[in-house]
Structure 1
Amino acid sequence: MVEKTKTTKAQLNYLHIAPRKARLVADSIKGKHIIEAESILVYSPNRAAKPILKLLRSAIANATNNSKLNKEKLVISSITVDEGPMLKRWLPRAMGRATPIHKKTSHIKIILEEKEGDFRRYKSPQAKVTKSEKSLVKTKENKKNEKSEIKKQNFSKVDESQKKSLKGISKKIFRRKEIS
C-alpha cells in the first residue's frame, strides 16, 4: 500500500509581476525547509520576494491550522509560477506610431509537505569549559578593565594647550572641499 504524504497548498493569482522575474525568486526556495526559505525571502532584494513570502506564510498557516501539520517538519515540495492574463496597452511614439506594452501577471502555487528528519542546519555542540579556561577568561577581562582605566586617565590629563594644538592639526590636513 502506498503511503500518502501530508501536504497543504496555497495559491496567489493575478500577481502584477512578470512570471520570468517571479520564477527567479521561486527557484531559490524550491525544496528548502520553510524557515530557511522564509529567511531567504526576507533578505531578497527582488520585488517578487515580498508577495511570495506572504504566500509562504499563508501556506504555513494553512498547514498548521487546517491540516494540523507540524511546522518544524514542513518543506516546500513544489512552487510553480504560471503565466496569468496579459494586459495590453499602447505607448504613443514619434511620427504617429505606437508601440505595444504587455503588462504581465503571474499565478503562483506553493505546495508544502511534511517530511521526517532533522532540518537544523547547524547543531550547536555543548563544549565543556574547564577551570583553566575560566581563569583565562577572567584574566583577559581584568586586563581589558586596566587598559580602559589607563586610557581614561590619559585623556583626563590633556591640558588646554594640547587641545589647541590638536585643533591646529585639522587645519593642516588637505581637504578638497572646504568646510565652513
Structure 2
Amino acid sequence: MRISSPNEAFAVARHVRVSPYKARQVIQGLRGMTVEAAQRRLEFMDKGAARPVLKTLNSAIANAENNKDLDFDDLVVLEAKVDEGPTLKRFQPRAMGRAYRIRKRTSHITITVGLPAAERARVGATAADADTAAEES
C-alpha cells in the first residue's frame, strides 16, 4: 500500500482495458502541469486512453480536496505513471485449424497530485512556525 505525504493525494485505476503503451502516450505531457490545464488537455485529446486517465485525475483531485483539504487552484500533477496489468489471452480461429493469439492488455494508472515544491516549503514553514509558537507559549 502506498502512503502519501499531507501535501499530496493520489488515485489508482486498476485493470483498465487499454494498452499501457497507448495510456503512456496520453500521460506523457501531464507531469508538472496544473490540474486545471491537465483536465483541459485530456478533455480535448483525441485518444481513447484519455477518458480513463481523466477519470483517474478527477479522482485524485477529489481525494486531495476532500481527504487532505488541499485547494484546487494550488494543485499540480506530481506523478503520472502507467503500469502493465494482467493480459487477457484470447484465440481467433485461422485457416487450416490454426489459432491466432489475441492479447487484450490492461493497465494500472496511478496519478499523484499535490502542492508544487515551492508551495510545499511555504506550507511546511508555516506549520513549523505554528509548532514553535505553540511550544514557546
CA distance in structure 1 between the partners assigned to 2:97 and 2:107 by the alignment:
32
Are the equivalent residues in 2 in contact too, given 1:5–1:114 (CA < 8 A)?
Answer: no
CA distance in structure 2 between the partners assigned to 1:36 and 1:116 by the alignment:
18
TM-score (norm 1): 0.61
CA distance in structure 1 between the partners assigned to 2:53 and 2:75 by the alignment:
16
Match of 2:110 in 1: 109
* Cα RMSD after superposing both structures: 1.6
Please tell me whether residue 42 in structure 1 is matched to residue 40 in structure 2: no
Secondary structure of 2:28's counterpart equals helix
Are the equivalent residues in 1 in contact too, given 2:6–2:68 (CA < 8 A)?
Answer: no
What per-residue deviation string (whole Å, max 9, x for no partner) do you get for residues 100-146 of structure 1? 1000000001111212779xxxxxxxxxxxxxxxxxxxxxxxxxxxx
Match of 2:60 in 1: 59
Q: Which structure has the larger Rg?
A: 1
Identity of aligned residues (%): 42
Residue 5 of structure 1 deviates from its aligned partner by: 6.6
Match of 2:16 in 1: 15
The correspondence of residues 83-162 of structure 1 with structure 2, limited to 5 A, is 83-115=84-116
TM-score (norm 2): 0.79
Residue 26 of structure 1 deviates from its aligned partner by: 0.8
- Greater fraction of residues in strand: 2
Structure with the bigger RCO (C-alpha within 8 Å, sep 6+) is: 2
4+ residue stretches of structure 1 with deviation over 3 A? none
Match of 1:80 in 2: 81
